[in-house]
Structure 1
Amino acid sequence: MPSLRILIVDDEKKVRNTLRNLIKLHYHKADVIGEAEDVNSAADAIREHEPDLILLDIKMPGGTGFDLLKQYNPIPFKVIFITAFNDFAVQAFRFSAIDYLLKPVIPDELVNALQRVEQEIDKENLMLRYNVLMENLKRDNKKIVLNSADSMQIVLINDIIRCEADRNYTRIYIHNKNNILISKNLKEFDEMLSPSGFLRVHHSHLVNPDYIEKLDKKDGGTLIMKDSTGVPVSTRKYSDILAWFNKI
């Protein structure tokens, strides 16, 4: 599955097509999620797609690549400048671009630049996890990092309503947020969350007891959660759920 989401910004359609084809042929871990031909359309595409990386031309109609970057503080994505002009290189580095490539782009140089971007993102993700770990060691209100195909999110464990198995994945339902599909199985989340009181009520369901509203005893037992969803209780787990209710 591609992990690096790329937006190509260049006023020449031929250049955009070349970059897209080079990435498709030589770097399967990346996905071109959009294209733009000038500063205004690039800003719109950034809002729509939230890219990890922009391959950014410098000279474009209506403004430069630097004009685009000046709209962001901090810059929420990585940048590789694509340019035919050597004299722009120094200024590009002043904007903390991880790299720049000269036109025409050489495939090996593009691959090396993309690899450097991924390594830098991996380091940042590791630091994010480390910071969450340190906070969890100090606080009662613990957090978890949920790494999906589209994003990494820090979520309070107390905000997780329930987890539901979806084949080899797990869908996480969060209070007042959209659900998230994570590429870990439910057993892994059971091991992580059961110390925080989560209950495995079914082979496909793990629930946060703080969000249980009632137990419907019909048809073998169904938990009604505070978000109005129903979660089936397996025959094997039914007595455990009754015991939990009796403790309250």
Structure 2
Amino acid sequence: MKALLIDDEQSNLDNLRILITTYCPQVNVCGAAADTRSATSLLHSHQPDLVFLDIQMPEQSGFDWLRSLSRTDFEIIFVTAYDQYAVQAMRLSAIDYLLKPVSIEELQAAVRRAHQQHSIKKENQLLNNLRHFLKGNNTPAEQSIALATLKETRFVKINEITRCKSANNYTTFYLATGESLLICKPIFFYDDLLRQYGFVRCHQSHLVNKASIKSWKRDYGDFLVLTNGAEIPISRGKKEEVKRLLQN
């Protein structure tokens, strides 16, 4: 993987480059930047697969820089001296959050996860291109999605998915057959894709197929009851949106 290092302190850049070169042979450092303006230029010229990003920097934070980009088709590993940003980092779908001074073992583990995610993403893109080519103008009920587990890539018809449940950077797909598939991607990666096929985001951790909903239960909280008996919580902040979507 091609990697870009971004940190406003040159000593941190040098140390990180040495650690990566010595202990992470699957990574090739293609550039380093001490500010986000230089980072944007290097991003366009090198198109890295992985970015090691500091958070607190002059002029613009690492978070703000990511939000300013039109595309973030690379994996992200935050490297920072502060531990209070972990939740924000995970919301930006970061692979990991490393504290300075960087542990060799934690760095290697983060790079392994980034490499796995990068490989799955490449495979999914190739399969997705093939799927669109083969399926042509099929109806939404016939559309399939490529789901890459650790052992295989499954082509699953979207109308066979009853719900999705997230746990950190992983999503479990529950199928009408009773089978479940664990995918190494966060749930919001699939949110926009599946909404166009009638899925409802009723909770931060849950995405439900409208066709699988049997009723709305109010008993010490709000729940969607599915045709298979599963009860999925509705968060307070999602109630109005869920009502609107179910009425359409």
- TM-score by length of structure 2 reads 0.52
Select the residue among 102, 105, 109 that pairs with 1:108: 105
Map of 1:89 onto structure 2: 86
How many Å apart are 1:114 and its aligned residue? 0.7
* Rounded Cα–Cα distance in structure 2 between residues aligned with 1:137 and 1:89: 41
1:15 — aligned with what? 12
CA RMSD, Structure 1 to Structure 2 (Å): 1.3
User: C-alpha separation between the residues in 2 aligned to 1:121 and 1:49?
Assistant: 16
State the alpha-carbon separation in 1 of the partners of residues 75 and 63 from structure 2: 13
Query: In the TM superposition, what is the alpha-carbon distance from 1:37 to its structure 2 partner?
Result: 0.5
Code of the aligned partner of 1:20: R
TM-superposed deviation, 1:100: 0.7
Aligned partner of 2:207 in structure 1 is none
Q: How far does residue 42 in structure 1 lie from its aligned partner after superposition?
A: 1.0
- State which of 71, 74, 86 in structure 1 corresponds to 2:68: 71
CA distance in 2, matches of 1:134, 1:90: 35
8 Å contact 1:39–1:67 — kept in the other structure?
A: no
CA deviation profile, 1:155-199 (whole Å, cap 9, x unmatched):
xxxxxxxxxxxxxxxxxxxxxxxxxxxxxxxxxxxxxxxxxxxxx
Aligned 1:1-248 pairs, distance under 5 A: 4-138=1-135
**Offset of residue 136 of structure 1:** 3.8
CA drift at 1:105: 0.2
1:31 Cα deviation (Å)?
0.3
Deviation at 1:73, TM superposition (A): 3.7
Deviation at 1:131, TM superposition (A): 1.8
Q: Distance in 2 between matches of 1:134 and 1:49?
A: 29
Larger radius of gyration: 1
* Residue type of the alignment partner of 2:33: A
Deviation at 1:94, TM superposition (A): 1.4
CA separation in 1, counterparts of 2:46 and 2:130?
29
Counterpart-to-counterpart distance in 1, 2:35 and 2:9: 10
Structure 1 moving runs of 4+ over 6 Å: none
Query: 1:90 is matched by which residue type in structure 2?
Result: V
2-side partners of 1:12 and 1:119: how far apart?
29
Amino acid at match of 1:120: Q
Offset at residue 119 of structure 1 (A)? 0.5
- Counterpart CA distance in 1 for 2:79 and 2:37 is 18
Could you say what secondary structure the match of 1:32 adopts? strand
Q: TM-score, normalised by structure 1?
A: 0.52
* CA distance in structure 1 between the aligned counterparts of 2:41 and 2:125, rounded to whole angstroms: 28
Matched length: 136
SS of corresponding position for 1:34? strand
